[in-house]
């Protein structure tokens, strides 16, 4: 039983990555068959909102959701706009134009980009004379170089010589194959920037609004409203708003409940147990699953440049995470040493206090022994 408890966080993260891989593959398949990316995002967020508010109500046993003041409303609205509305629209458009494997692989640069954004915002410190700081810088450069290679240096195809997935719902209109790939990669890279900004914005908003479950619920609600506005202006065809098949409905429901609602809860639990670095270590697993299944079942093309760039992104990811893990370990050791010193000081203070109390309880001359001469003088006087 103890071994099972030890492996539960790893099993949970493997399940989450398989869930993300399923969303990536099923979303691209339904979009290629005619579902609009904007409509998919709208229904995904709507299903997530419908699920998470009852979950919040019943999990706490009382109808209490933290209220919003003007500042918290503004922060959550901004976070929802950046992390849900803009990020997901860019990601789905890029996934639609490029490929499932590309969409999954580009996501591996998020830790490196987040480190760079956090450094510019003052949340991360870098010591250029320390190997941990150099590792984070080198990993970030390798991630960006790998992503650039995947985007620009496609190279010859090594699997699936012909593409059978035409683009019919892009906001950019008709594009040839080369432009499709380039614009798709740019959209995906822009979505990683938005996600990195979203992660960085969690620092001030969590400090001001510490109720994380209510925060997630409000973000899902605001994201749904914002996505509805975006879809209203970009989707002029009323028929595009209709889910025409059970597979489209199932894909939106699966993405909303599985990837947007349940995954947040499970991942928050894993981070509380093992930390954010442990959670990020499993990101490349989704890339491997998506790349293999997309090539086998959807006949997606794989290029040498993309393969080399993807390996560079994964290597850079682990270098950045190694540097972050060393920071976490060093900070933990510093906290442990500070706690030990505080315990030692408190122990010494308690010992001194106990001695003083013992001295006050005894008579002041109880331990004094008179000399023989003093005893004789007392006897003569008596």
DSSP 70-81: HHHHHHHHHHHI
Residue 125 gets the label, from left (phi > 0), alpha (psi -120 to 50) or beta, of: beta
Check pLDDT > 60 for residue 99. yes
Confidence of residue 275 (pLDDT cuts 50, 70, 90): low
**pLDDT of 263 above 90:** no
CB count in 10 Å sphere of residue 85: 23
Q: Residue 355: its pLDDT value, please? A: 55
b/e sequence 108-143, b meaning 16+ C-beta within 10 Å: bbbbbbbbbbbbeeeebeeeeeeebbebbbebbbbb
Rounded alpha-carbon distances, angstroms, from residue 262 to 41, 117, 212, 308, 316:
17, 27, 14, 33, 29
User: If you search the block for the tokens 């093309």, which residue do you land on?
Assistant: 301
Q: DSSP 3-state assignment of 269?
A: helix
Residue 71 in this model has a pLDDT that exceeds 50: yes
Q: Enumerate residues 6+ apart whose C-beta is below 8 A from 40.
A: 27, 30, 31, 92, 251, 252, 255
pLDDT tens track for 335-373: 767 666 655 555 555 555 555 555 545 554 445 555 666
pTM, to two decimals = 0.71
pLDDT of residue 375: 62
């Amino acid at each position: 039983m103890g071994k099972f408890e030890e492996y539960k966080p790893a099993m949970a993260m493997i399940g989450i990555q398989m869930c993300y891989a399923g969303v990536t593959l099923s979303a691209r398949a339904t979009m290629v068959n005619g579902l609009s990316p904007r409509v998919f995002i709208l229904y995904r967020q709507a299903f997530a909102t419908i699920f998470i508010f009852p979950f919040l109500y019943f999990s706490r046993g009382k109808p209490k959701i933290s209220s919003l003041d003007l500042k918290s409303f503004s922060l959550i609205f901004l976070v929802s706009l950046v992390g849900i509305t803009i990020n997901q629209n860019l990601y789905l458009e890029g996934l639609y134009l490029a490929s499932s494997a590309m969409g999954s692989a580009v996501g591996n640069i998020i830790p490196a980009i987040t480190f760079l954004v956090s450094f510019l915002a003052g949340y991360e410190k870098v010591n250029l004379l320390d190997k941990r700081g150099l590792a984070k810088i080198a990993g970030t450069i390798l991630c960006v170089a790998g992503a650039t290679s995947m985007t620009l240096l496609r190279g010859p195809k090594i699997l699936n010589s012909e593409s059978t997935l035409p683009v019919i719902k892009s906001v950019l209109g008709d594009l040839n194959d080369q432009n499709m790939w380039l614009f798709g990669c740019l959209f995906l890279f822009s979505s990683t920037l938005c996600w990195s900004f979203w992660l960085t914005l969690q620092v001030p908003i969590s400090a001001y609004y510490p109720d994380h479950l209510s925060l997630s619920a409000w973000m899902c609600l605001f994201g749904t409203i914002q996505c509805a506005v975006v879809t209203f202006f970009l989707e002029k065809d009323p028929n595009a708003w209709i889910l025409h098949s059970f597979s489209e409905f199932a894909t939106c429901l699966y993405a909303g409940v599985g990837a947007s609602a349940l995954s947040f809860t499970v991942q928050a639990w894993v981070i509380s147990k093992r930390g954010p670095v442990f959670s990020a270590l499993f990101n490349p697993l989704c890339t491997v699953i998506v790349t293999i299944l997309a090539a086998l079942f959807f006949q997606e093309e794989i290029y040498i440049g993309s393969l080399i760039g993807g390996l560079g992104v994964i290597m850079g990811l682990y270098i950045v995470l190694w540097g972050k893990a060393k920071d976490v370990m060093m900070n933990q050791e510093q906290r442990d040493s500070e706690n030990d010193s505080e315990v030692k000081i408190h122990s010494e203070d308690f010992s001194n206090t106990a001695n003083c109390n013992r001295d006050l309880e005894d008579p002041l001359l109880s331990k004094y022994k008179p000399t023989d001469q003093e005893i004789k003088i007392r006897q003569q006087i008596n």
